Homo-oligomer: A and B are copies of this chain.
Amino acid sequence: MKRIGMLTSGGDCQALNATMRGVVKGLCHMYKDEIEVYGFLEGYKGLIRNNYKILKAEDFSGILTKGGTILGSSRQPFKLMDQPTEDGINKVKAMKETYKKLKLDCLVVLGGNGSQKTANLLSEEGLNVIGLPKTIDNDLWGTDMTFGFQSAVDIATQAIDCIHTTAASHNRVFVVEIMGHKVGHITLHAGIAGGADIILLPEIPYDINSVVKALEKRSKAGKGFSIIAVAEGAISKEDAALPKKKRKEKIAQRAYPSVAYEIADQIKDACGCEVRVAVPGHTQRGGSPDAYDRVLSSRFGAYAAQLIKEEKYGRLVVLKDNDVTDIALSDSAGKLKYVSPQDSIVLNARALGISFGDE
């Protein structure tokens, strides 16, 4: 009899359920159903407060295609982990106590960068922990791909597709804001997939004059409309050059609800053309996982089950060169995988004539 704890932490995304199903199907297969699964509710909060439900194999039936997470999730920032809760509870101690009280053999953590840092901390504290790389942002260091990413790209691309027909019919410039505060992977992929003319990313600061020039070039070539895909965290060269603190202050003081509106106004001022903004927002992390994510997360889950069987703990399951494998949690913790201006895909996009606003 194996006793497994499981939790989903951080912003929700597609394929959380599919991944958990993979873990449990894998364990049921290997241990001939001799397992007990404790699902902690609302991420680490449930582990801290010993708030869980016992899950049976059938609870994972039919959830392969179901969005969200049957366990609920919450954001528990890593940097607050050494702070007590409002009830004065020491979080790390509480989590260890829950783990021990339930006599868990392993804790499986589905989470992104911050959540895996906490997972690594718990591993260093002596718990058996396995991490699974969840995030629509695909910014987890050490894996080629996280689950949720491709499904988010699909939704962002569909949004651009819809905007495309409207933009073309009305000869408008459209600024579509896509999720990604620190990294631009979704925007880059959805921008290419949606046929965007300009792509602005946090990693490649833009010059608004360069953006305007790219628009004017299209206009001169007789193209009446343009699509600009903008990451939430896109930043101007000017702002990027500020010291971190000043930059944060400036962004905090921004009059606009988000960067897309600011860029739209700058373009309107410079070109005098009709500019509209679209912000698909939270829709990008919801709904059913696509086929790609379902394959990936099923594989991740099955592999996690095998790690448990082999009692190989403190590991993060990752995709490397199309193989599912594992790395040390400590190797990934605290590092983000950014878009590099030298990435093959960025160069391909430039070769297509897509502007990154930095020319």
Give chain A's interface residues, CB within 8 Å of chain B: 8, 12, 14, 16, 22, 25-26, 28-30, 42, 62, 64-69, 72-74, 144, 150, 153-155, 157-159, 161-166, 168-171, 174, 189-190, 192-195, 224, 257, 261, 276-287, 290-292, 294-295, 298-299, 301-303, 305-306, 321-325, 344-345, 348-349, 351-353
Contact = CB atoms under 8 A, between A and B. Distances in A.
A352 B26 contact: yes
A299 B192 contact: yes
B281 A278 contact: yes
Given A68-B164, A257-B261, 16 more contacts: A14-B165, A65-B195, A67-B165, A69-B169, A162-B285, A163-B282, A163-B283, A166-B282, A166-B286, A193-B298, A298-B352, A302-B351, A306-B351, A321-B321, A322-B345, A324-B345
Nearest to A144: B322
Contacts of A295: 153, 189, 192-193, 345
A286 B163 contact: yes
Contact of A286 (B14, B62, B165): B165
Contacts of A161: 65, 67, 286-287
Nearest to A261: B257
A26 B353 contact: yes
A165 B321 contact: no
Contacts of A8: 169
Copies held by the complex: 4
A321 B303 CA distance: 20
A113 to B, nearest CB: 18
A69 B224 CA distance: 14
A165 B351 contact: no
A323 B278 CA distance: 31
A68 B294 contact: no
Choose among A276, A295, A351 the residue with the greatest number of B CB atoms under 10 Å from its CB: A351
Contacts of A163: 282-283, 286
Q: Of A295, A298, A325, A349, which is in contact with the most chain B CB atoms at under 10 Å from its CB?
A: A295
Q: Which 4 A-B pairs have the closest CB atoms?
A: A162-B286, A67-B165, A68-B165, A29-B353
A170 B12 contact: yes
B286 A283 contact: no
Contacts of A345: 295, 299, 322, 324
Contacts of A277: 281
Contacts of A299: 192, 344-345, 348-349
B285 A166 contact: yes
Contacts of A284: 162
Contacts of A157: 291, 294
Contacts of A285: 162, 166
A67 to B, nearest CB: 3
- Interface centre among A281, A284, A306, by most chain B C-beta atoms within 10 angstroms, is A281
B294 A193 contact: yes
A150 B151 CA distance: 13
Contact of A303 (B73, B154, B351): B351
Given A72-B170, A286-B165, A154 B344 contact: no
23 contacts: A12-B166, A25-B352, A62-B168, A64-B195, A66-B165, A72-B169, A72-B170, A158-B287, A162-B284, A162-B286, A163-B283, A166-B285, A193-B291, A278-B283, A295-B345, A298-B349, A298-B352, A299-B344, A299-B345, A301-B352, A303-B351, A324-B344, A324-B348
